[in-house]
A and B are shown apart, each in its own frame.
Chain A
Amino acid sequence: MYASIVFLPLFGALIAGWLSLSHRDRAAELVTVSFLLLSLLFSIIAFAQVAIGGQPITIDLARWIVSGDFEAMWRLRFDTLTAVMLIVVTGVSSMVHLYSVGYMSHDRSRARFMAYLSLFTFAMLMLVTADNLVQLFFGWEGVGVASYLLIGFWYQKDSAHTAAMKAFVVNRVGDFGFALGILAVYQIFGSVQFDAIFANAASAAGTTINFLGRPMPALEVAGILLFIGAMGKSAQLGLHTWLPDAMEGPTPVSALIHAATMVTAGVFMVCRLSPMLEYAPLSLDIITIVGAMTAIFAATVGFTQFDIKRVIAYSTCSQLGYMFFAAGVSAYPAAMFHLTTHAFFKALLFLGAGSVIHALSDEQDLRNMGGIWKKIPFTYAMMWIGSLALAGFPFFAGFYSKDMILEAAFAAHTPVGMLAFWLGCAAAFLTAFYSWRLLIMAFHGKPGASAEVMSHVHESPLVMTIPLFVLSIGAIFSGWLGYELFVGHDMARFWGDSILILPEHTAMENAHHVPTWVKLLPIVLATSGVVLAVLCYAVWTGLPGAAARALSPIHAFFFNKWYFDELYDVIFVRPAVRIGAFLWKRGDGDTIDGLGPDGLSGLVVRVSAAASRLQSGFVFHYAFAMLIGVVVLVTWYYLRFGGL
């Protein structure tokens, strides 16, 4: 049963892929959706047995890469951390599968789409059930490929396949770090197996390894390299540029991959490696700082964007930052808690946005929306629930998890913890602001769309609204339901051995005993964010434009995403192609060929022409070459035996 959780989606993908060749779309939808629901059912049972029942198990499948003492096996690992991810992945994935049946109903290659979705789910499940770093890397790259295929699903669109390629290549930059991290871990522990790593982490704490010519603290090297991988996959500052562009994919993809599951893989990895990272304080500090910077960076960009999906994408980026800085202050349970609640409400927001886009005949620009809340009341309500949960209003999911993170950052009582706390608070304010900006611009005010489009605005079919409803249940109750297990009294028993927190890292403990103002601040900030958004976009509608003009350099900086894309284009992309062309023409062409074969043949031709016009080229060349051989032989003999 455990193995079938992982492999059912793979079979679904294979069958759907096969069906897609003959365009049997309905059959493909039936197969993938039912397999996924079955996988969800098994995941729930697994969650009950493994996480609630406290019985982690591993399943051996086969030998994979075995050479000398390097051993990477195909083996599935089910512990609490995995079980939580199983619920998140199969839960959101099955809802997205169902939703896609409606959302993609006008598309010509639905079967292919369903195959990709199931393939993604398989890779993601392999990732979360990995028992060693190499298998984790398998899932890691697998989700990357699925994401590449899905972003570029409408491959006739130039923007879509450009974004797909960008996503893959930027992720590869992260994977570069990941791969080196695996090598470092193998050197330190002589194994890539999690159990072996975790058992020996404490004793490896003080050791150094030689990295790039100088001795460095072993676990820090491994930790930072692996975190570079996590930065790529989870779109953290510096390697985030692919995520907004990834919105070119169909909206269900954004909900599943670029909000709920794949992008959280980095957070999962950091939590998975907690038994190692706990002994790498510098790595943890770096994780905290990068997370906090991302949280604020993405929020500042998010409130200037006009594409409804990009706003939510930056919001995702920002929320991932929260998860990372929670992990960075050793509050891994809080990070996982936020990961779980976020999966529900962010998927809800995306699918809600998809419903809006669907209703408005594929319009994504917020400026062309508005005035539709009475026409699609259900979607409107869902977006409210999602936004309330995202902003962290009391008793919605985000309230429990996000506050927990901010409290833990504060309670860490370290300089980086405080930095994360204040940046996180500022981001919380912006989050509420851009969420209500989105709500108001999308649903209220004067209609921005043409009369023709407005006449077609309709509520989505049942197959799309049911998943929204299910996710909204999660967005409302998952925080309240999970609180005690994830971060409350039952925390230690619930997580068992899957997460390690050293006794001296007390952020998680102290988070329950922070001053009242720390507990209240996020709610106050969120409320004021909402009020400001209402004032700006519903009351004094001229204000945002005026503010943008008055602060135009700052606005331009935010609006252009801090110019990361332009910067990378100038320092990486264009030089790479230019250097390539230079090396080709000047290096290969002029230098190597010029001095080598062409020069030699030119010389030969000239010499041979001078010597005799009768000799044919090839024979002469052969002789010439033989001659050189003889010369070398004679020289060698001379040197070796001291004379002939």
Chain B
Amino acid sequence: MIANWPLLTIVTFLPLIGVTFLLMIRGDEDVVARNARNVALWVSGFTFVISLALVLNFDPNALGYQFEERAEWLPGTGISYHLGVDGVSLPFILLSTLLSPLAILASWKAITHRVREYMIAFLVLETMMIGMFASLDMLMFYLFFEGVLIPMFIIIGVWGGKRRVYAAFKFFLYTLLGSVLMLVCMLAMYIDAGTTDIPMLTAHSFAASMQTWLFLGFLASFAVKVPMWPVHTWLPDAHVEAPTAGSMILAGVLLKMGGYGFIRFSLPMFPLASEFFAPLIFALSVIAVIYTSLVALAQSDMKKLIAYSSVAHMGFVTIGIFTMTEQGVAGAMFQMISHGLVSAALFFCVGVVYDRLHTREISAYGGVAAVMPRYAVYFMFMMLASVGLPGTSGFVGEMLVLVGAWKASSWVAFFAATGLVLGAAYMLWLYRRVMFGKIVSAEVEGMERISRREVVIFAPLTVLVLWFGVYPASLLDVMAGSVQSILDSVAAGGAFVIAGR
């Protein structure tokens, strides 16, 4: 019975209903703040529960999209309201609905002014994220894709740190410039194919010369979002200035939009161009892995360090996608989900100590392990997951990407694997400086142990990272069919797919 409900529409727009509740709250500032927090948490939590129905009713063996909803929007134009998920988008929707309540919980105490507006921004953000992953119409995708920018821009610009305006501006400028080029390409595609329906566009074959331009236009947008080197410099600034919860969502979900876009659009729609440009992507990705790892080594700000590590990890993702092998693409998908969980947890780790000491300078810390033993365990676990320890989700993605990369070229695998060494170096060094050693100051000594609320945020992330590390089949099986059909359409488009080699 539940399968007949418009589940995707419900999941997508439920947070917006929460927004109307938030708007109705009346009272003095304390009351509004308290109620706003509770409403936002309940709504996003409820959204997560509903989204579980998607998982329970999803059939990993079925071909094509599931939970499809279609309605006339602009009759006669080939533009419609079209939602649906496959094995590629479903994990991202769950990631969004899971991280949103956790992020709201993470801002419980950290955000004290304009709480209602903050929560509104977060719920709008959630709708935009889910909508983007659920859209099967290119125009809708674009609206959601761009719509994500606005609440995030506001979150950084209003609740951010000292240089928040610079960071928000840089974030906006970068992502907008890319998006405009993508919009131009979308117009061209619409003119050529006469529809904005994603499944139909996937089946449509664009002329080879046109593919090149379209690919580059989309690349401009997705590369910024991933972010790929050299358009990554907005990320460290945005992270440093964003509030903790903003960083969690930014790293956890927003960075995945680029990777998702590559898999949904670039690969199946422009297979020839994807094949042609793959070496370029490999080069940029390998540079990203090595360059940003080295830069991470030089950081003195905890958040910046983790931000740079994100760029390096996303380098693995882009490598995996453009190997156009089953292991590479599945590995990239897995790496994105894993990074979504791990980086959100790591940014929260920073947030936990930031809430206590109000600084992100690594040198202000030292010996925290002695003061906050449980926190030390969570941080250690996430740090190890970030360096790709087998048994955590971080390993599975990296390993599969390397398998795919090796098939494409042993050079790519060789350089990418240096990330194993460098990643361990900067993460362990961070942990060592913050957590180990003697307690450096009375302030550090006075830091409170982690609260129950903080444990509630860490616990689900920890369990999932461990679960996906030990039994990744639970996620790989969901994705396998869709990954295969995307690679099939790449091959059908005339590109040379290595998997068949």
Closest to A627 in B: B180
Closest to A584 in B: B295
* Stretch in contact with the other chain, from B75-83, B114-122, B414-422: B414-422
Kindly state the separation between the CA atoms of A158 and B406 in the bound complex, as whole angstroms.
40
Q: Which of B184, B330, B413, B422 contacts A632 (CB 8 A)?
A: B184
Q: Which of A145, A155, A161, A636 contacts B213 (CB 8 A)?
A: A636
Known: A176-B417, A213-B411. A64 touches B437 (CB 8 A): no
Could you say which residues of chain B place their CB within 8 Å of the CB of A65? 396, 399-400, 472-473, 476
Known: A70-B327, A156-B438. A138 touches B428 (CB 8 A): no
- Within B234-263, the residues touching A (CB, 8 Å) are 234, 236
Known: A155-B369, A210-B410, A592-B230. A67 touches B400 (CB 8 A): yes
Kindly state the separation between the CA atoms of A164 and B473 in the bound complex, as whole angstroms.
33
Kindly state the separation between the CA atoms of A229 and B389 in the bound complex, as whole angstroms.
15
- What's the minimum C-beta distance from B316 to chain A, rounded to whole angstroms? 13
Task: Give the A-B contact count at a CB cut-off of 8 A.
Answer: 186
A583 touches B435 (CB 8 A): no
The reply to whether the CB of B104 lies closer than 8 angstroms to some CB of chain A is no
B407 touches A169 (CB 8 A): no
A169 touches B424 (CB 8 A): yes
Interface string of B418-446 (1 = CB under 8 A from A): 10111011001100100111100000000
- What's the minimum C-beta distance from A123 to chain B, rounded to whole angstroms? 9
Could you say which residues of chain B place their CB within 8 Å of the CB of A158? 437-438
Interface string of B366-392 (1 = CB under 8 A from A): 010110011000000000100001110
Q: Which of A64, A186, A187 contacts B473 (CB 8 A)?
A: A64
Could you say which residues of chain B place their CB within 8 Å of the CB of A148? 428
B420 touches A68 (CB 8 A): no
Could you say which residues of chain B place their CB within 8 Å of the CB of A176? 417-418, 420-421
- What's the minimum C-beta distance from B61 to chain A, rounded to whole angstroms? 15
A633 touches B187 (CB 8 A): yes
The reply to whether the CB of A580 lies closer than 8 angstroms to some CB of chain B is yes
- What's the minimum C-beta distance from B170 to chain A, rounded to whole angstroms? 5
The reply to whether the CB of A644 lies closer than 8 angstroms to some CB of chain B is no
Known: A67-B330, A142-B390. A180 touches B436 (CB 8 A): no
- Within A117-171, the residues touching B (CB, 8 Å) are 134, 137-138, 141-142, 145, 148, 152, 155-156, 158, 161-162, 164-165, 168-169
The reply to whether the CB of B183 lies closer than 8 angstroms to some CB of chain A is yes
Known: A180-B414, A593-B233. A632 touches B298 (CB 8 A): no
Kindly state the separation between the CA atoms of A176 and B181 in the bound complex, as whole angstroms.
39
Known: A134-B399, A629-B184. A621 touches B173 (CB 8 A): yes
Known: A176-B417, A626-B180, A629-B183. A169 touches B425 (CB 8 A): yes
Closest to B370 in A: A156
Could you say which residues of chain A place their CB within 8 Å of the CB of B400? 65, 67, 70
Interface string of B188-206 (1 = CB under 8 A from A): 1000000000000000000
Q: Which of A68, A138, A588 contacts B295 (CB 8 A)?
A: A588
The reply to whether the CB of A62 lies closer than 8 angstroms to some CB of chain B is yes
The reply to whether the CB of A24 lies closer than 8 angstroms to some CB of chain B is no
The reply to whether the CB of B331 lies closer than 8 angstroms to some CB of chain A is yes
Could you say which residues of chain A place their CB within 8 Å of the CB of B369? 155
Could you say which residues of chain B place their CB within 8 Å of the CB of A213? 410-411
- Size bin of chain A's contact surface: 35 or more
The reply to whether the CB of A211 lies closer than 8 angstroms to some CB of chain B is yes
Could you say which residues of chain A place their CB within 8 Å of the CB of B299? 584
Kindly state the separation between the CA atoms of A155 and B172 in the bound complex, as whole angstroms.
43
Could you say which residues of chain A place their CB within 8 Å of the CB of B425? 169, 172, 576
Q: Which of B173, B181, B414, B473 contacts A629 (CB 8 A)?
A: B181
Kindly state the separation between the CA atoms of A168 and B429 in the bound complex, as whole angstroms.
11
Kindly state the separation between the CA atoms of A142 and B499 in the bound complex, as whole angstroms.
31
Closest to B473 in A: A63
Kindly state the separation between the CA atoms of A636 and B391 in the bound complex, as whole angstroms.
50
Could you say which residues of chain B place their CB within 8 Å of the CB of A592? 230-231, 233
Closest to A598 in B: B170
- Within A1-46, the residues touching B (CB, 8 Å) are 21
A70 touches B403 (CB 8 A): yes
B297 touches A577 (CB 8 A): yes
- Within A558-607, the residues touching B (CB, 8 Å) are 576-577, 579-581, 583-584, 587-588, 592-593, 596-597, 600-601
The reply to whether the CB of B50 lies closer than 8 angstroms to some CB of chain A is no
The reply to whether the CB of B126 lies closer than 8 angstroms to some CB of chain A is no
A138 touches B390 (CB 8 A): yes
Could you say which residues of chain A place their CB within 8 Å of the CB of B428? 148, 165, 168-169
Kindly state the separation between the CA atoms of A176 and B399 in the bound complex, as whole angstroms.
12
A601 touches B187 (CB 8 A): no
Could you say which residues of chain A place their CB within 8 Å of the CB of B230? 592, 596
Could you say which residues of chain A place their CB within 8 Å of the CB of B174? 596-597
B295 touches A212 (CB 8 A): no
B414 touches A212 (CB 8 A): yes
- What's the minimum C-beta distance from B384 to chain A, rounded to whole angstroms? 6
Kindly state the separation between the CA atoms of A66 and B477 in the bound complex, as whole angstroms.
8
Closest to A630 in B: B184
Could you say which residues of chain A place their CB within 8 Å of the CB of B471? 62-64
Could you say which residues of chain A place their CB within 8 Å of the CB of B437? 155-156, 158, 161
Known: A577-B297, A626-B180. A156 touches B367 (CB 8 A): yes
B296 touches A138 (CB 8 A): no
Could you say which residues of chain A place their CB within 8 Å of the CB of B341? none
Could you say which residues of chain B place their CB within 8 Å of the CB of A580? 294-298
Known: A169-B424, A180-B414, A584-B299. A186 touches B406 (CB 8 A): yes
The reply to whether the CB of B362 lies closer than 8 angstroms to some CB of chain A is no
Kindly state the separation between the CA atoms of A391 and B120 in the bound complex, as whole angstroms.
75
The reply to whether the CB of B13 lies closer than 8 angstroms to some CB of chain A is no
The reply to whether the CB of A183 lies closer than 8 angstroms to some CB of chain B is yes
Kindly state the separation between the CA atoms of A580 and B373 in the bound complex, as whole angstroms.
31
Closest to B422 in A: A576
Q: Which of B396, B420, B422 contacts A175 (CB 8 A)?
A: B420
Kindly state the separation between the CA atoms of A272 and B476 in the bound complex, as whole angstroms.
30
A138 touches B297 (CB 8 A): no
Interface string of B459-472 (1 = CB under 8 A from A): 00000000000111
The reply to whether the CB of B169 lies closer than 8 angstroms to some CB of chain A is yes
Could you say which residues of chain B place their CB within 8 Å of the CB of A584? 295, 298-299
The reply to whether the CB of B291 lies closer than 8 angstroms to some CB of chain A is yes
The reply to whether the CB of A628 lies closer than 8 angstroms to some CB of chain B is yes
The reply to whether the CB of B176 lies closer than 8 angstroms to some CB of chain A is yes
Closest to A595 in B: B230
The reply to whether the CB of B10 lies closer than 8 angstroms to some CB of chain A is no
The reply to whether the CB of A640 lies closer than 8 angstroms to some CB of chain B is yes
The reply to whether the CB of A625 lies closer than 8 angstroms to some CB of chain B is yes
- What's the minimum C-beta distance from A43 to chain B, rounded to whole angstroms? 23
Could you say which residues of chain B place their CB within 8 Å of the CB of A21? 373-374
Kindly state the separation between the CA atoms of A62 and B411 in the bound complex, as whole angstroms.
33
Kindly state the separation between the CA atoms of A183 and B404 in the bound complex, as whole angstroms.
9
Closest to A112 in B: B373
Kindly state the separation between the CA atoms of A584 and B233 in the bound complex, as whole angstroms.
10
Could you say which residues of chain A place their CB within 8 Å of the CB of B291? 583, 587
- Within A36-84, the residues touching B (CB, 8 Å) are 62-68, 70
Closest to B214 in A: A636
- What's the minimum C-beta distance from A321 to chain B, rounded to whole angstroms? 24
Closest to A585 in B: B298
Could you say which residues of chain B place their CB within 8 Å of the CB of A155? 369-370, 435-437
The reply to whether the CB of A517 lies closer than 8 angstroms to some CB of chain B is no
B326 touches A67 (CB 8 A): yes
Q: A183-B410, A187-B407, A629-B181 are in contact. List 14 more A-B contacts (CB 8 A).
A: A67-B326, A67-B400, A67-B476, A70-B400, A165-B432, A179-B420, A184-B406, A576-B294, A579-B294, A596-B174, A596-B231, A597-B170, A601-B173, A625-B173
18 A-B pairs (CB sep. < 8 Å)? A134-B399, A137-B390, A138-B391, A142-B389, A156-B367, A156-B370, A156-B436, A179-B399, A180-B414, A184-B410, A576-B297, A580-B295, A596-B233, A597-B173, A618-B172, A628-B180, A629-B180, A632-B217
CB-based closest 10 A-B pairs: A580-B298, A68-B326, A580-B294, A581-B298, A138-B390, A161-B436, A183-B406, A580-B297, A629-B180, A155-B436
